[in-house]
Structure 1
Amino acid sequence: MKATALRVRARMLLHQDLPAPEERRAIRQAAGLSQGELAEAIGVTRQAISNWESGVRTPNGPHLERYVTAIRALRRAA
């Protein structure tokens, strides 16, 4: 499989692991983190987290990977 196809497949899998916006917020809150704290941890703005949790926007590119990784870690910690 070509490198481009592998990247597309990896992104598809990440999107499958991304919970619904309401669940994203609940996971973060259960972990006791503010939007600003999560944003700082993954290198985005607080507004980006707000948009992702409200469903206004969906993370993409490297932000998607970091966000899904953070959500997975928070879910395990809760």
Structure 2
Amino acid sequence: MSSTVSELIRARLRIRRSLPAPHVCRAAREAAGLTQKDVADAVGVTIQAVSYWEAGLRRPRGERFDRYAEAIAALRDAA
């Protein structure tokens, strides 16, 4: 396995471990003054999906997980 592939895998694993609890994601969004629609548009999902994630009823999966984790990390870094 090349070092590039290994680095990519490790980077994705770090993102997956860094998604905070649903209430923390919601707090980060609200602190940034964003609506669920703003986050949904940025991530490429529906408002309902973001609502479910913030309520802890569902968890994003696959590429959506990666995009959502990156969005939440950016919001928390900006605070």
Range into which the TM-score falls when normalised by the shorter chain = 0.7 to 0.9
State the 1:10 CA deviation.
5.2
Matched, 1:54 2:20: no
Q: Give the 3 Å change call, closer, same or farther, for CA 10–57 of structure 1 in structure 2.
A: farther
Note the 1:1-78 alignment, pairs <5 A: 1=1, 7=9, 11-78=12-79
Identity across the alignment (%):
53
Structure 1 Cα separation of the partners of residues 23 and 31 of structure 2: 12
Q: TM-score, normalised by structure 1?
A: 0.84
| Deviating 4+ runs (over 2 angstroms) | 9-15
Q: 2:15 touches 2:70 (CA, 8 Å); kept in 1? A: no
Query: Aligned pairs, how many?
Result: 75
Deviation, 1:15, is 2.7
- Structure 1 residue 45: Cα displacement: 0.3
User: What amino acid sits opposite 1:74 in the alignment?
Assistant: L
TM, length-normalised to structure 2: 0.83
In structure 1, stretches of 5+ residues that fail to align are none
Unaligned runs of 5+ in 2: none
* Aligned-CA RMSD value: 1.7
Q: Partner of 1:18: helix, strand, or coil?
A: coil
- Following the alignment from structure 1 to structure 2, what is the Cα–Cα distance between the partners of residues 76 and 24? 12
